[in-house]
Structure 1
Amino acid sequence: MSGPVVVGVDGSSSAAAAVEAAAREALMRDAELHVVHAFIWPAMHVSPGASHLGPLAGGVRESVEHLLHEAVGRAQAAAPGVRTSSAVMPGEPVAALEAESRVSQLLVVGHRGSGGIKQLLLGSTAVHLAAHGHCPVMVVRGRAVPEGPVLVAVDGSPQGRGAIAFAFAEAQLRGSELVALHAWSTWSDHGESGPGHPAELVDLIGDVNEMRAVEERLLAEALAGHQAQFPDVTVRTQVVRGRARPTLIETSDHAQLIVVGARGRGGFTGLLLGSVSQAVLHHAHCPVTVVRSGL
């Protein structure tokens, strides 16, 4: 995939971590790193220069340029030799970064920006871009385990094929093992159980081992073509009987990256971001990449 790796910065510690992760991604891909700061003053026709009431260096433009210069320096320190560019984009950060995603191979953001409510686990910018981005979106959060695997969630749905392809390519770039995890339960195909639905109805209506074999075949079929395309990637499969959300979050504690599709086969079809993806974005212990269907 062509195009730069784009990272959004706003001066927050979360954005600083995103810059370092984005720089490493760009270097691995031999791509340019484009550092973007979106600011609303150009759209509001506010003068970017220094105020006559303050010191010359106190203007908005000087502050923004310093922020970008600092971010580029951080990127080059994290990934020496990475090619960089930077720009100030007019308008709201969400709209500006979504526009950038149309011409990018990867968009990287921190899990929380400098604005918003500190108690929130995930910022609104990250949530929106994960649901609406036109390229894979990496949300940098938690602590990546450098020697850990790339973890991909597999549910066998057509919407998840892009996530599997991305995860294989990412594991190859990183020279890491790929763990393909498929979590199944009684209600794998029907969403969450509700009132009056026994949690383990399968024990009453079918053979557990037979159903496990079906789920194992589903996982093998989902991976088959990708393994042929990436023969050098070591793949470890895990078929776990349990809920996808807690299983993925727990397993992410030992991973360097987790990859999920925006939506799987369960839940409400009108949602752009499924419940599993949202839970992982909010609670994973390592960076998360969301790959929307069709990317």
Structure 2
Amino acid sequence: MVLVDTHNHLLPGIDDGAKNIEETIEMCKIAADDGIKKIVATPHYIKGELETEPSVIKGLVGEVNKLLQKQGIDIEILPGHEVFVDPAIPQLLKDNLLCTINNSKYLLIELPMGSTPKYIEELIYSIRLNGYVPIIAHPERNVEIMENPNLLYRFIELGAMAQLTTWSIQGNYGKKVQETAEILLKHDMYSLIGTDAHSPTKRRPKLEKGINLVQQIVGIERANLLMKNAELIIENTEVNNLLPKKIQRQKGLFSFIKKIVNK
């Protein structure tokens, strides 16, 4: 199995990730030491604010790959975008203004942290209708999903996929995010795992620790599925998704007493 990171902000100087090529190369060295063989560069795309064109991304990817080969670092960089949700995404895809993951049908999208837009269900449907598959990055960090994890179940029902971030399951974003990640993981709502790395010092490109935690929570077989899916996605083939399970709310004390009395 080839270890693939499908969410990474290592391209130099184009978003809040690596500041320069030196940081890019350092991030690649860290990833290589962690066993990662392929990285999808996913700089942010925010309509009206940060609109890096696919040609720029692919040009930078080519330059970085040449440097990596020259320095003997055994990693290949692939093009992508992390697209902040917007009703215009289907048209942007038609106009070839977005980078899907390695030119596949899979598109990494990002929800706002505080809410889910009212149009999100229609957006997922429209993206699917146009032949693409939206992958929701780090849904465990969205406040509404933290409060009601079944929101993500609904998005998956409509044809979206979800990506777990290693820092979330490790507790680096706080206990609530970590707990939400574990809940979603135990209910088979994730299809893959990525680093969402931004630098060589803070949010580092390392998968191994996160994968080990996933193995402890849901077992080696299901952890392997998340890793294998990343490989299938960059090959533009169908993934091996588990069937997500809706989360049943815990019944209160009154319900428990009523059940005993009625026996």
How high is the TM-score relative to the length of structure 1? Answer: 0.26
| Bigger radius of gyration among the two | 1
Greater strand share, structure number:
1
TM-score using structure 2 length? 0.29
